[in-house]
Homo-oligomer: A and B are copies of this chain.
């Protein structure tokens, strides 16, 4: 089912080479100011940078089909639609018989049968994340009203790793100044080189995106089963290419001692804070008032132009495959906007749930 969320519910639809892609976002409070331009601005942040991305040139122009009148939400479901224009499906028929390694061709056909729409990756395409980004713009408006802000950046790209602890403000300033969404201008150059090198070799690279959400109130989440980690992870794993999610010290924390990993409490400016933030802002599945700190691992793009081994499903025999087409050698920079949006949607959903609202107003 292409729906996620409890009080804010996102339904995704469309396919890469069909009429278009879009989403329904239900549960948005009425009376919020959201213009088409706000949505377009966010969606544009997901577009590929000229030099390093796919040559597919989608305008990705967002239409509002319902739920917003005169830039004000009405309380009815918001429907966003992005028409597909620059599609070329000629190359995809082959992959029905000879699945591409690392892609969903094989599993899609197993799941949906021969009628599955595999053109351009169909409903498995990274393109499906554009409506998520548009919906994220609405979610950010909801979060703004309670002061929550979200920002993500490329923390790792191939072999280039950003080991600095980063300040939320610095991230927000730096990240849209360079094409790889790095929080550091110098590292950005290295990352661009990493991508160009892979591209020249007909190869691709992956990376890690870190996302911070600050000023989330204490008390968001549950111990079972709608933990803040679990709700975020479920959403993030739906982003094509994601293979790992961790919070705070995550896998690194697994090697620590308790005395080292525990975040000790102090009073700071009249509020309870922790000295460190190894918990990534979450204790017992519930936000503790510290920044929510998420790391998301992306595998390298599956589409590479090198020859690979595959199988002919009709003849059930081994064969080889060389993928042509227009692909990103690295989707990580474009996915930064997606991770931000996905995080914002989940947090907004959790902040619209009845028990949270009741508590906030108590």
Residue numbers of A with Cβ under 8 A of B are 1-4, 7, 9-15, 18-22, 24, 26-27, 29-31, 64-67, 69, 72-77, 79, 81, 99, 101-104, 106-108, 110-117, 122-124, 128, 156, 158-159, 198, 203-208, 218-219, 221-227, 229-231, 233-238, 240, 242-251, 253-267, 270, 272, 274-275, 278-280, 283-288, 295, 297-304, 306, 308-311, 313, 316-318, 352-359, 361
Contacts and interface: CB of A to CB of B under 8 A. Distances in A.
A-B CB proximity, top 9 nearest: A104-B284, A244-B246, A204-B258, A75-B112, A107-B286, A110-B219, A244-B250, A230-B237, A4-B225
Contacts of A225: 1-4, 10, 12, 234-235, 238
Nearest to A132: B224
Nearest to A353: B354
Chain A at the B interface: SS class: mixed
A305 to B, nearest CB: 10
A266 B319 CA distance: 8
Contacts of A205: 256-258
B316 A267 contact: yes
Given A123-B223, A254-B300, 9 more contacts: A13-B79, A107-B219, A128-B224, A208-B251, A229-B242, A244-B251, A251-B297, A265-B311, A354-B354
Contacts of A206: 253-256, 258, 261
Nearest to A274: B101
A117 B11 CA distance: 22
Contacts of A298: 254
B266 A74 contact: no
A299 B253 contact: yes
Given A74-B112, A231-B234, A250-B243, A218 B299 contact: no
A64 B13 CA distance: 12
Contacts of A29: 355, 358
A106 B288 contact: yes
A218 B354 contact: no
Nearest to A352: B354
Nearest to A73: B115
A13 B22 contact: no
| Residue of A303, A311, A313 ringed by the most chain B CB atoms within 10 A | A311
